[in-house]
Chain A
Amino acid sequence: MAPILDIKNLYKNYGSVEILKDINVAIEPGDFLVLVGPSGCGKSTLLNCIAGLEPITAGTIDIGGRDMTHVSPKDRDIAMVFQSYALYPTMSVAKNITFGMKVRGVDAATQEKKLQEVAQQLQIEPLLQRRPGQLSGGQRQRVAMGRALVRDPKLFLFDEPLSNLDAKLRVEMRSEIKKLHHNLNATMVYVTHDQIEAMTLATKIVVLKGGIVQQIGSPAEIYNTPANLFVADFMGSPAMNLIPARAKANGKGTKIEIERAGAAPLVLTDTHAKDLPEDVILGLRPEDIAEAGFRAGEDVQEADCLIDMVEPAGADTYVVSQLGGKQVTARLHAETNARPGENLSLAFDLSKVSYFAPESGERLN
């Protein structure tokens, strides 16, 4: 299938400042692409470039197989939902939703029909005659979505649409957007700084930092095999443990040594890793460190560790131990007997391990 959105070698400068550098992204119809990164990484700028709201410095943007690089927003067959919702304050909800159709000269009957369809779909029929100022945050959000839906575009663009909602509503709207994506079989591009939103919604994630793409992949790829230290640290909560270690090849594989203050180094043996340099950063997610006896497998290795802190979190209990000079978090079952100041035998699942070069931050395995 031809990509519905194809960005090639996109550069964007403000004066002499490079905002986006050599962006290459393509998605298929039905994809849910999430652009994620810390604030100032250029993700919103990239979305504005896709929308045609910002001119680009170099490169091309194809939408639906047509070169749209220099086409104005209204002709790109897109719809957009904004962070502040950007509802027209003096127009009623109904007028907000139909404004685009009115501008494009759609006849009144069609406008009305589309309006009713969308209102029903989003359950905002009782709100149609109200002004945006009389709506709650969640209702405004729905109206903003309605304004996008009514266009029936090739591409939906979302610019941090949930960041102004409270935590509970955010989760609700998140699943609603996901449902919408599924029901409409629509193609969406979604900007967020929230990695959980990215993980839950995306079929494809682009991680951006400083205007440079760090990694593109499915949520599972991004989560399990982060391309570098930045992605490893940014995606996942609690974050991946990143532990300085020394690697030495021996007969069966590679011996991994982790320094510990006031105790002998922790030694693990990885039978798969090959050709590692001596200094590495070992990355292991908290859920891949369990209490001994609760995780089995040929790559699981157990070792006694001094527990510094125990944090019960309902379903799980997190424990923290000092390894390689870092606070290392392990996710244990809720009924663990771990106590701060005591030793506990932890199981390290090395089948999930990532190695990074300390200098470049690049993934090694």
Chain B
Amino acid sequence: MTDIALTTTHNPSRNWGRIALRWLLFTLLGLFALFYLMPLFVMVTTSLKSLEEIRTGSLVAFPREVTFEAWRTAWSGACTGIQCEGLRPYFWNSVILAIPAVLISTMLGALNGYVIAQWKFKGANLIFSLMLFGCFIPFQVVLLPMARMLGMMGIAGTIPGLIFVHVIYGIGFTTLFFRNYYVSIPQELVKAAKVDGAGFFRIFWSIFLPLSLPIIVVTVIWQFTQIWNDFLFGVSFSQAGTQPVTVALNNIVNSTTGVKEYNVDMAAAIIAALPTLLVYVVAGKYFIRGLTAGSVKG
């Protein structure tokens, strides 16, 4: 930990400078905080206003009269093209899509990371490099063949199809997370367990998995955020009825029929953002810690 806070001095003139500097510091930090908070504030207040008030009032004003009408519409009545059933069905699509995709990709990542970090064999590093590179490709390069592949497998436009896509392209990152975590665990642990008579899965289950809570948290949060917030795969591989919430949100906002209901747009945007925001507020601390640990090391 570095401490470069200004050291105390007893010189009065320098003390004044110090106080002024401190004020400047807080002012700057406060202005930045406003910059980051402003869109959220605007979203929330707009979603609580009536359309009339939006047209006449100011962008940053508090609502004169709070109404949850826009939220109700966004949830169960807004139109995504032809249908007008709100975000609700799509929200649930995202839920039943994200949960299995997160679980499967995390489990595979844990096993892969365990093998690559602790059961090295010839070629394991090459395989890891290939997987790592897979994390960085622009997904546009796989969209076309994947669309055909899903068709061939008979799961085009379905939620299982989307789960499959998210698992496949999540493996790289989940493996990376677990590999980097397990690589710092001394190899002697596996050796001791081997001498004790435990095999591959026993060692994983009894020794490594109980150790893994921090990295499981990081991986689950990462995967959940990625999958919940995904738009590209959702818009490319779903059809009416199986779309995830981000696609539905975009359809609501950009549907050109009728009067533009900005309050509904904002309510819908907040609803779509709520799960990941909640996860971030509850467990974000661990996430940042885990995520930055890796990049600082690199």
Contact = CB atoms under 8 A, between A and B. Distances in A.
A100 B197 contact: yes
Interface stretch (B158-166, B188-196, B237-245): B188-196
B195 A79 contact: yes
Interface string A1-26: 00000000000000000000000000
A100 B197 CA distance: 6
Which 3 pairs between the two chains have the least Cβ-Cβ distance? A74-B197, A100-B196, A90-B210
A51 interface: yes
Given A74-B195, A74-B197, A79-B195, A84 B211 contact: no
Interface of A: 48, 51, 53, 72-74, 78-80, 82-91, 99-100, 103-104, 147, 159
9 contacts: A74-B194, A84-B188, A86-B191, A99-B198, A100-B195, A100-B197, A103-B202, A104-B197, A147-B192
B212 to A, nearest CB: 10
Given A53-B194, A90-B210, A100-B196, 17 more contacts: A48-B191, A51-B195, A53-B195, A73-B197, A74-B196, A78-B195, A79-B195, A84-B188, A85-B188, A86-B186, A86-B191, A88-B192, A88-B207, A90-B211, A100-B195, A103-B196, A147-B196
Given A99-B206, A103-B202, A88 B189 contact: yes
Contacts of A80: 191-192, 195
B29 to A, nearest CB: 37
Interface of B: 186, 188-189, 191-198, 202, 206-207, 210-211
Contacts of A78: 195
Nearest to A100: B196
B124 to A, nearest CB: 15
Contacts of B194: 53, 72-74
A7 B193 CA distance: 24
A82 B197 contact: no
B199 to A, nearest CB: 8
Contact of A82 (B188, B198, B202, B211): B188
A82 B196 contact: no
B164 to A, nearest CB: 33
A48 B193 CA distance: 14
Contacts of B206: 88, 91, 99
Contacts of B192: 80, 82, 86-88, 147
A271 B189 CA distance: 58
Contacts of B195: 51, 53, 73-74, 78-80, 100
Contacts of B207: 88, 90-91
B121 to A, nearest CB: 12
Nearest to B212: A90
A120 to B, nearest CB: 21
B238 to A, nearest CB: 41
A256 B192 CA distance: 54
A2 to B, nearest CB: 24
Given A103-B196, A103-B202, A104-B197, A89 B191 contact: no
Contacts of B189: 86, 88
A63 B277 CA distance: 61
Given A84-B186, A99-B198, A51 B211 contact: no
Contacts of B193: 88, 99
